[in-house]
Protein backbone atom coordinates (compact mmCIF):
# COMPACT_ATOMS: atom_id res chain seq x y z
CA UNK A 1 0.00 0.00 0.00
CA UNK A 2 2.84 2.38 0.86
CA UNK A 3 4.64 1.66 -2.41
CA UNK A 4 1.54 2.18 -4.55
CA UNK A 5 0.62 5.48 -2.87
CA UNK A 6 4.17 6.64 -2.16
CA UNK A 7 5.77 5.83 -5.53
CA UNK A 8 2.84 5.78 -7.95
CA UNK A 9 3.25 2.22 -9.22
CA UNK A 10 0.76 -0.53 -9.99
CA UNK A 11 0.11 -3.29 -7.49
CA UNK A 12 1.22 -5.83 -10.13
CA UNK A 13 4.55 -4.02 -10.37
CA UNK A 14 4.90 -4.09 -6.59
CA UNK A 15 4.44 -7.87 -6.51
CA UNK A 16 7.19 -8.25 -9.11
CA UNK A 17 9.78 -6.36 -7.06
CA UNK A 18 12.94 -7.82 -5.56
CA UNK A 19 15.08 -6.24 -2.84
CA UNK A 20 17.78 -5.66 -5.45
CA UNK A 21 15.39 -3.27 -7.21
CA UNK A 22 15.69 -0.79 -4.33
CA UNK A 23 18.66 1.56 -4.06
CA UNK A 24 18.62 3.30 -0.68
CA UNK A 25 21.67 5.39 -1.61
CA UNK A 26 20.04 7.11 -4.58
CA UNK A 27 16.44 6.77 -3.32
CA UNK A 28 15.42 4.97 -6.50
CA UNK A 29 13.15 2.04 -7.19
CA UNK A 30 13.64 0.09 -10.43
CA UNK A 31 10.36 -1.16 -11.89
CA UNK A 32 10.48 -3.61 -14.78
CA UNK A 33 7.94 -4.17 -17.52
CA UNK A 34 8.35 -7.81 -18.52
CA UNK A 35 6.28 -7.56 -21.70
CA UNK A 36 8.27 -4.64 -23.12
CA UNK A 37 11.53 -5.75 -21.50
CA UNK A 38 12.26 -2.25 -20.25
CA UNK A 39 12.56 -0.68 -16.83
CA UNK A 40 12.21 2.70 -15.19
CA UNK A 41 13.64 4.27 -12.05
CA UNK A 42 11.17 5.91 -9.67
CA UNK A 43 11.76 8.01 -6.59
CA UNK A 44 11.25 6.17 -3.28
CA UNK A 45 11.24 8.28 -0.09
CA UNK A 46 13.30 7.47 2.98
CA UNK A 47 10.11 6.93 4.98
CA UNK A 48 9.23 3.90 2.83
CA UNK A 49 12.84 2.66 2.77
CA UNK A 50 12.75 2.64 6.59
CA UNK A 51 9.51 0.63 6.52
CA UNK A 52 11.12 -1.89 4.16
CA UNK A 53 14.20 -2.23 6.36
CA UNK A 54 12.02 -3.10 9.36
CA UNK A 55 9.99 -5.48 7.21
CA UNK A 56 13.12 -7.23 5.96
CA UNK A 57 14.48 -7.73 9.49
CA UNK A 58 11.26 -9.48 10.53
CA UNK A 59 10.39 -11.58 7.46
CA UNK A 60 13.76 -12.11 5.68
CA UNK A 61 12.42 -12.63 2.13
CA UNK A 62 14.81 -14.59 -0.09
CA UNK A 63 13.75 -13.94 -3.71
CA UNK A 64 10.81 -11.57 -3.96
CA UNK A 65 10.34 -8.41 -1.94
CA UNK A 66 6.93 -9.71 -0.86
CA UNK A 67 6.88 -13.51 -0.79
CA UNK A 68 3.83 -15.75 -0.70
CA UNK A 69 3.13 -18.88 1.28
CA UNK A 70 4.82 -21.13 -1.27
CA UNK A 71 8.61 -21.15 -1.54
CA UNK A 72 10.11 -18.76 -4.12
CA UNK A 73 6.72 -17.42 -5.19
CA UNK A 74 5.62 -13.77 -4.89
CA UNK A 75 2.73 -12.66 -2.72
CA UNK A 76 -0.52 -13.25 -4.58
CA UNK A 77 -2.69 -10.45 -5.93
CA UNK A 78 -5.71 -11.95 -4.19
CA UNK A 79 -4.01 -11.85 -0.79
CA UNK A 80 -2.99 -8.25 -1.45
CA UNK A 81 -6.53 -7.14 -2.25
CA UNK A 82 -7.84 -8.95 0.84
CA UNK A 83 -5.27 -7.14 2.99
CA UNK A 84 -6.33 -3.77 1.62
CA UNK A 85 -9.99 -4.62 2.13
CA UNK A 86 -9.29 -5.54 5.75
CA UNK A 87 -7.49 -2.24 6.38
CA UNK A 88 -10.34 -0.25 4.80
CA UNK A 89 -12.93 -2.04 6.95
CA UNK A 90 -10.96 -1.46 10.17
CA UNK A 91 -10.59 2.22 9.29
CA UNK A 92 -14.38 2.63 8.91
CA UNK A 93 -13.92 4.31 5.54
CA UNK A 94 -17.16 4.96 3.67
CA UNK A 95 -15.76 5.46 0.16
CA UNK A 96 -14.45 2.60 -1.93
CA UNK A 97 -10.67 2.27 -1.82
CA UNK A 98 -8.61 0.08 -4.15
CA UNK A 99 -5.07 0.09 -5.49
CA UNK A 100 -6.06 1.99 -8.63
CA UNK A 101 -7.51 4.78 -6.47
CA UNK A 102 -4.32 4.80 -4.37
CA UNK A 103 -2.26 5.35 -7.50
CA UNK A 104 -4.56 8.15 -8.67
CA UNK A 105 -4.21 9.71 -5.21
CA UNK A 106 -0.43 9.64 -5.67
CA UNK A 107 -0.79 11.54 -8.95
CA UNK A 108 -3.26 14.07 -7.56
CA UNK A 109 -1.43 14.69 -4.29
CA UNK A 110 1.98 14.97 -5.98
CA UNK A 111 0.51 17.56 -8.33
CA UNK A 112 -0.84 19.44 -5.29
CA UNK A 113 2.74 19.51 -3.97
CA UNK A 114 3.73 21.57 -7.01
CA UNK A 115 4.98 18.98 -9.53
CA UNK A 116 3.56 19.49 -13.06
CA UNK A 117 1.28 16.68 -14.20
CA UNK A 118 3.39 16.01 -17.31
CA UNK A 119 6.47 15.40 -15.13
CA UNK A 120 4.53 13.02 -12.88
CA UNK A 121 3.17 10.95 -15.74
CA UNK A 122 6.51 10.87 -17.54
CA UNK A 123 8.13 9.60 -14.33
CA UNK A 124 5.76 6.76 -13.51
CA UNK A 125 4.68 5.41 -16.92
CA UNK A 126 6.97 2.68 -18.18
CA UNK A 127 7.63 2.70 -21.88
CA UNK A 128 6.50 6.29 -22.42
CA UNK A 129 6.99 7.17 -26.10
CA UNK A 130 6.08 10.86 -26.22
CA UNK A 131 8.74 12.93 -27.89
CA UNK A 132 11.02 15.59 -26.51
CA UNK A 133 9.21 18.11 -28.72
CA UNK A 134 5.89 17.35 -27.00
CA UNK A 135 7.27 18.12 -23.55
CA UNK A 136 9.21 21.13 -24.79
CA UNK A 137 6.00 22.73 -26.02
CA UNK A 138 4.58 22.30 -22.52
CA UNK A 139 7.66 23.94 -21.02
CA UNK A 140 8.68 20.63 -19.42
CA UNK A 141 12.11 19.00 -19.62
CA UNK A 142 11.43 15.27 -20.28
CA UNK A 143 14.46 14.42 -18.15
CA UNK A 144 12.82 15.97 -15.08
CA UNK A 145 12.08 13.43 -12.37
CA UNK A 146 9.76 13.47 -9.38
CA UNK A 147 11.88 13.70 -6.24
CA UNK A 148 9.20 14.03 -3.59
CA UNK A 149 6.42 11.77 -2.36
CA UNK A 150 2.99 12.50 -0.84
CA UNK A 151 3.67 9.59 1.53
CA UNK A 152 6.02 11.84 3.52
CA UNK A 153 3.18 14.29 4.19
CA UNK A 154 1.44 11.65 6.31
CA UNK A 155 4.09 12.03 9.00
CA UNK A 156 5.12 15.66 8.65
CA UNK A 157 4.82 17.83 11.74
CA UNK A 158 4.19 21.54 11.45
CA UNK A 159 7.08 23.39 13.08
CA UNK A 160 6.35 27.00 14.04
CA UNK A 161 8.71 29.51 12.46
CA UNK A 162 10.09 31.97 14.99
CA UNK A 163 12.00 34.22 12.61
CA UNK A 164 10.89 35.91 9.43
CA UNK A 165 12.49 34.70 6.21
CA UNK A 166 12.82 36.07 2.71
CA UNK A 167 10.09 33.67 1.55
CA UNK A 168 7.50 35.71 3.45
CA UNK A 169 7.01 37.63 0.19
CA UNK A 170 4.12 35.21 -0.40
CA UNK A 171 2.15 36.97 2.33
CA UNK A 172 2.01 40.26 0.43
CA UNK A 173 1.12 38.74 -2.94
CA UNK A 174 -2.48 38.34 -4.05
CA UNK A 175 -3.92 35.17 -2.41
CA UNK A 176 -4.60 33.71 -5.85
CA UNK A 177 -0.92 33.92 -6.73
CA UNK A 178 0.07 32.11 -3.55
CA UNK A 179 -2.43 29.28 -4.03
CA UNK A 180 -1.53 28.77 -7.70
CA UNK A 181 2.23 29.25 -7.69
CA UNK A 182 3.76 28.46 -4.31
CA UNK A 183 3.92 24.68 -4.71
CA UNK A 184 5.57 24.80 -8.12
CA UNK A 185 7.88 27.65 -7.09
CA UNK A 186 9.07 25.77 -3.99
CA UNK A 187 9.89 22.76 -6.18
CA UNK A 188 11.94 25.02 -8.49
CA UNK A 189 9.52 25.06 -11.41
CA UNK A 190 9.88 28.82 -11.56
CA UNK A 191 8.71 29.48 -15.12
CA UNK A 192 5.80 27.10 -14.67
CA UNK A 193 4.68 28.90 -11.51
CA UNK A 194 4.46 32.21 -13.40
CA UNK A 195 2.75 30.67 -16.42
CA UNK A 196 0.08 29.07 -14.22
CA UNK A 197 -0.85 32.46 -12.75
CA UNK A 198 -0.98 34.16 -16.14
CA UNK A 199 -3.21 31.42 -17.54
CA UNK A 200 -5.60 31.91 -14.62
CA UNK A 201 -5.58 35.69 -15.13
CA UNK A 202 -6.37 35.18 -18.82
CA UNK A 203 -9.14 32.71 -17.94
CA UNK A 204 -10.85 35.10 -15.49
CA UNK A 205 -10.82 38.02 -17.93
CA UNK A 206 -12.00 35.76 -20.75
CA UNK A 207 -15.04 34.75 -18.67
CA UNK A 208 -15.90 38.39 -17.90
CA UNK A 209 -15.68 39.40 -21.56
CA UNK A 210 -17.74 36.44 -22.72
CA UNK A 211 -20.51 37.24 -20.22
CA UNK A 212 -20.59 40.86 -21.42
CA UNK A 213 -20.27 40.28 -25.18
CA UNK A 214 -20.88 36.59 -25.87
CA UNK A 215 -17.55 36.57 -27.73
CA UNK A 216 -14.35 34.68 -26.98
CA UNK A 217 -10.90 36.22 -27.20
CA UNK A 218 -7.51 35.16 -25.88
CA UNK A 219 -4.18 36.68 -24.91
CA UNK A 220 -3.34 40.13 -26.18
CA UNK A 221 -6.53 40.40 -28.26
CA UNK A 222 -8.56 39.59 -25.15
CA UNK A 223 -6.84 42.32 -23.13
CA UNK A 224 -7.39 44.91 -25.86
CA UNK A 225 -11.08 44.04 -26.00
CA UNK A 226 -11.48 44.09 -22.20
CA UNK A 227 -9.59 47.30 -21.39
CA UNK A 228 -9.88 49.51 -24.50
CA UNK A 229 -10.80 53.03 -23.22
CA UNK A 230 -13.32 53.61 -26.03
CA UNK A 231 -15.55 50.66 -25.17
CA UNK A 232 -14.25 49.28 -21.88
CA UNK A 233 -15.67 46.07 -20.45
CA UNK A 234 -13.40 46.22 -17.42
CA UNK A 235 -13.01 49.78 -16.10
CA UNK A 236 -9.99 50.48 -13.88
CA UNK A 237 -10.28 54.26 -13.57
CA UNK A 238 -12.64 57.18 -13.95
CA UNK A 239 -12.84 57.48 -17.73
CA UNK A 240 -14.39 60.94 -17.47
CA UNK A 241 -11.02 62.29 -16.34
CA UNK A 242 -7.63 62.40 -18.05
CA UNK A 243 -5.99 60.58 -15.14
CA UNK A 244 -8.56 57.79 -15.28
CA UNK A 245 -8.06 57.44 -19.03
CA UNK A 246 -4.30 57.25 -18.53
CA UNK A 247 -4.73 54.51 -15.93
CA UNK A 248 -6.97 52.58 -18.31
CA UNK A 249 -4.54 52.94 -21.24
CA UNK A 250 -1.50 52.14 -19.12
CA UNK A 251 -2.92 48.97 -17.64
CA UNK A 252 -4.26 47.90 -21.03
CA UNK A 253 -0.65 47.95 -22.24
CA UNK A 254 0.57 46.04 -19.19
CA UNK A 255 -2.12 43.34 -19.36
CA UNK A 256 -1.56 42.95 -23.09
CA UNK A 257 2.22 43.03 -22.68
CA UNK A 258 2.43 40.24 -20.12
CA UNK A 259 0.42 37.97 -22.41
CA UNK A 260 2.56 38.72 -25.46
CA UNK A 261 5.95 39.03 -23.79
CA UNK A 262 5.75 36.60 -20.85
CA UNK A 263 2.95 34.04 -21.20
CA UNK A 264 3.20 33.33 -24.93
CA UNK A 265 6.98 32.68 -25.10
CA UNK A 266 6.74 30.33 -22.10
CA UNK A 267 3.77 28.49 -23.64
CA UNK A 268 5.39 28.02 -27.05
CA UNK A 269 8.98 27.31 -26.03
CA UNK A 270 10.86 25.50 -23.27
CA UNK A 271 11.97 28.66 -21.46
CA UNK A 272 13.44 28.55 -17.96
CA UNK A 273 13.91 31.50 -15.62
CA UNK A 274 15.76 32.15 -12.38
CA UNK A 275 14.23 32.22 -8.93
CA UNK A 276 14.71 35.98 -8.70
CA UNK A 277 13.11 36.62 -12.10
CA UNK A 278 10.14 34.45 -11.11
CA UNK A 279 9.61 36.52 -7.94
CA UNK A 280 9.62 39.74 -9.98
CA UNK A 281 7.09 38.36 -12.44
CA UNK A 282 4.87 37.00 -9.67
CA UNK A 283 4.72 40.47 -8.12
CA UNK A 284 3.82 41.94 -11.51
CA UNK A 285 1.06 39.37 -11.99
CA UNK A 286 -0.12 39.91 -8.42
CA UNK A 287 -0.67 43.61 -9.11
CA UNK A 288 -2.78 42.71 -12.14
CA UNK A 289 -4.92 40.43 -9.98
CA UNK A 290 -5.38 43.21 -7.41
CA UNK A 291 -6.39 45.70 -10.09
CA UNK A 292 -8.85 43.23 -11.57
CA UNK A 293 -10.33 42.66 -8.10
CA UNK A 294 -11.10 46.38 -7.79
CA UNK A 295 -12.59 46.96 -11.23
CA UNK A 296 -16.01 48.59 -11.57
CA UNK A 297 -18.27 46.77 -14.06
CA UNK A 298 -20.17 49.19 -16.30
Q: How far apart are the C-alpha atoms of 263 and 195, rounded to whole Å?
A: 6
Candidates 99, 68, 285, 72; CA nearest to 185 is: 285
Do 116 and 248 fall within a single domain?
no
Residues with Cβ within 8 Å of residue 220, at least 6 apart in sequence: 256, 259, 260
* Structure confidence by residue, pLDDT tens digits, 103-121: 999 999 998 888 888 888 8
Do 170 and 288 fall within a single domain?
yes
CATH number of the structural domain spanning residue 43: 1.10.443.10
Domain residues for the domain of 92 are 2-154
Q: How far apart are the C-alpha atoms of 207 and 141, rounded to whole Å?
A: 31
Strand 22-23 to strand 234-235: parallel, antiparallel, or no bridges (unpaired)? unpaired
Give the per-residue pLDDT at 142: 61
* Structure confidence by residue, pLDDT tens digits, 118-141: 888 888 875 544 444 554 455 556
Residue 273 has a CB neighbour count (10 Å cut-off) of: 18
Do 142 and 181 fall within a single domain?
no
- Provide the residue-wise pLDDT of the chain in tens; the chain has 298 residues: 999 999 999 998 999 998 889 999 999 999 887 665 667 889 999 999 999 999 999 988 888 999 988 878 888 888 899 989 888 888 888 788 899 999 999 999 998 888 888 888 888 875 544 444 554 455 556 667 888 999 988 876 654 544 445 567 898 999 999 999 999 999 989 999 999 999 999 999 999 999 999 999 999 999 999 999 888 899 988 888 999 899 999 999 999 999 999 888 766 566 778 999 999 999 999 999 999 888 755 4
Candidates 118, 111, 113, 115; CA nearest to 136 is: 118
Is the residue at 180 inside a domain?
Answer: yes
Do 149 and 7 fall within a single domain?
yes
> Is the pTM above the cut of 0.85?
no
**Residues 98, 99, 104, 108: what is their CA dihedral angle, to the nearest 10 degrees?**
90
Is the residue at 107 inside a domain?
Answer: yes
Is the residue at 99 inside a domain?
Answer: yes
Q: How far apart are the C-alpha atoms of 85 and 96, rounded to whole Å?
A: 9
Amino acid sequence: MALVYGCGIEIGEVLGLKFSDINATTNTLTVKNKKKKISKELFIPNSIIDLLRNYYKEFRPKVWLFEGRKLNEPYSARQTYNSLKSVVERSNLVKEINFTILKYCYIKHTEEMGIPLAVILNSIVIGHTDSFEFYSKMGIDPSDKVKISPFDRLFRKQIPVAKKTIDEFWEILHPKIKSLAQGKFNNKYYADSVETCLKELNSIIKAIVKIKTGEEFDGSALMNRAFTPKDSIIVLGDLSTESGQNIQKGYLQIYSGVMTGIRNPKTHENIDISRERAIHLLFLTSQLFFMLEEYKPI
